[in-house]
Amino acid sequence: MIRMFSRRLLLPFVGVVQVAETDNARALSMDGAYWSIQYRLPRDPRARTDQKKVDPGSTYTRIIGYNHAAVGTVKEGRLENHPVHPALDADDVRSATHRLFEAVTSARLPFEAADRYEYWLLDARDETPLALLYTCVDGQEQELTPPRPEWHPMPASELKVEAPEPPQPFYVPPVNYRLEKMVEERAGTKPRAAWFMRTDPTDGDFPPCLIREDWQDEKQQVLCDRYIRRLAPRLLMLPGLPHLVRQRLEQSAREYVFEIERFHALYPEVIDQRLLTAARVEARMRRANS
């Protein structure tokens, strides 16, 4: 049986990953077009290297994530097999790879969200959710050592956010870093975080864009708004966004046509189809003319 679901990638939030998995293998995608297929390694990878059924073309190990080896990729609907780790049975790996390939290329995206257990940094003033730190699919994960109560944005090297002020003759930290410090101060000197189990993603007690957007200081409000607008093409992958929030994010994302083109297959809902279609057309035209 192949289980298909999605979950948010944190920390920082970079998007929603699609997952198709069996007991021993999984396929992961951040955009629905490119998939990495991975196979679970045994606890001691050296224990089976003396077995006969190994891939003769295996000359190196490709590890992605904890105790999984990359065994294939899917791009533009085509499967590419990778050399199989010598600790694995090549026949089992190829069989699982083809099963997942058939599943993800015929599935309807996006998959239903399964990470209902959420770990939130709390506002020091009233202990309400301030910023999302981590999520999990299995409630038992809550018993593991939780992440530190610290929120991090996407780094400026990966998500450049235009500063509200004109260029300065001295160093000014990126918006991303300044927002991180704002959240740190709002969480207080002794930051706390708490687990919540949410069955309704539209619950209004939680920030829909995964961070509180109400700031009393006008300069802080501008910084937060700019970060959210820049992150909009990725935030649109979130399920359960209120209508007005999704509409606002679509308008903000319109400026980033290449990111809309990349992520649009994973948007669970679209308010203004003409707007996003125009963005995708513009992305294709700009690429053709470059």
Half-sphere exposure of 52 (CA within 13 A, CB side): 0
3-state secondary structure the chain: CCEEEEEEECCCCCEEEEEEECCCEEEEECCCCEEEEEEECCCCHHHHCCCCCCCCCCCCCCECCCCEEEEEEEECCEEEECCCCCCCCHHHHHHHHHHHHHHHHHCCCCCCECCCEEEEEECCCCCCEEEEEEEECCHHHHHCCCCCCCCCCCCCCCCCCCCCCCCCCCCCCCHHHHHHHHHHHHHCCCCCEEEEECCCCCCCCCCCCCECCCCCCHHHHHHHHHHHHHHHHHHCCCCCCCHHHHHHHHHHHCCCHHHHHHHHHHCCCCCCHHHHHHHHHHHHHHHHCC
CA distances from 82 to 18, 21, 26, 58, 251 (A): 21, 18, 14, 8, 41
User: Considering 61, 81, 106, which residue would you say is the last residue of a domain?
Assistant: 106
132 and 250 part of one domain: yes
Q: At what angle do helices 218-235 and 175-187 cross, to 10 degrees?
A: 110
Q: What's residue 49's pLDDT?
A: 43
Q: Residues for the chain: how many in total?
A: 290
> For the stretch 7-25, what's the b/e string if a residue is b when 16 or more beta carbons lie within 10 angstroms of its beta carbon?
bbbbbbbebbbbbbbbeeb
Tell the residue number behind the tokens 């994010």, with chain if given: 249
Label the pairing between strands 129-136 and 117-122. antiparallel
Q: What's residue 44's pLDDT?
A: 61
- 283 alpha carbon, distance to own chain's centre: 22
Residue 112 lies inside a defined structural domain of this protein: no
207 and 100 part of one domain: no
User: Considering 106, 136, 171, which residue would you say is the last residue of a domain?
Assistant: 106
Q: Six-digit token pair at 16?
A: 């929603």
Q: What's residue 45's pLDDT?
A: 53
79 and 204 part of one domain: no
Q: What's residue 66's pLDDT?
A: 52
226 and 91 part of one domain: no
Domain boundaries, position 189: 117-288
Q: How many domains does the chain have?
A: 2
135 and 93 part of one domain: no
Residue 89 lies inside a defined structural domain of this protein: yes
62 and 194 part of one domain: no
203 and 134 part of one domain: yes
Residue 155 lies inside a defined structural domain of this protein: yes
136 and 190 part of one domain: yes
Q: What's residue 147's pLDDT?
A: 76
User: Considering 106, 137, 163, which residue would you say is the last residue of a domain?
Assistant: 106
Residue 203 lies inside a defined structural domain of this protein: yes
Q: Six-digit token pair at 76?
A: 């533009």
127 and 97 part of one domain: no
CA angle 17, 135, 185 (to 5 degrees): 115
**Separation between Cα atoms, residue 103 and residue 6, nearest integer Å:** 15
Q: What's residue 251's pLDDT?
A: 98
Q: What's residue 58's pLDDT?
A: 33
Residue 22 lies inside a defined structural domain of this protein: yes
**Separation between Cα atoms, residue 108 and residue 95, nearest integer Å:** 22
Per-residue pLDDT of the chain (290 residues; tens, 9 = 90+): 899 999 999 989 999 999 999 999 999 999 999 999 999 988 765 554 444 343 333 332 333 445 788 899 999 899 999 988 888 889 999 999 999 999 999 999 999 999 999 999 999 999 999 999 999 998 887 777 677 899 999 999 999 999 998 888 888 899 999 999 999 999 999 999 999 998 877 767 899 999 999 998 999 999 999 999 999 999 999 999 999 999 999 999 999 999 999 999 999 999 999 999 999 999 999 999 98
131 and 240 part of one domain: yes
Q: What's residue 87's pLDDT?
A: 84
**Separation between Cα atoms, residue 205 and residue 224, nearest integer Å:** 19
**Separation between Cα atoms, residue 123 and residue 190, nearest integer Å:** 11
Residue 129 lies inside a defined structural domain of this protein: yes
Residue 111 lies inside a defined structural domain of this protein: no
274 and 182 part of one domain: yes
210 and 251 part of one domain: yes
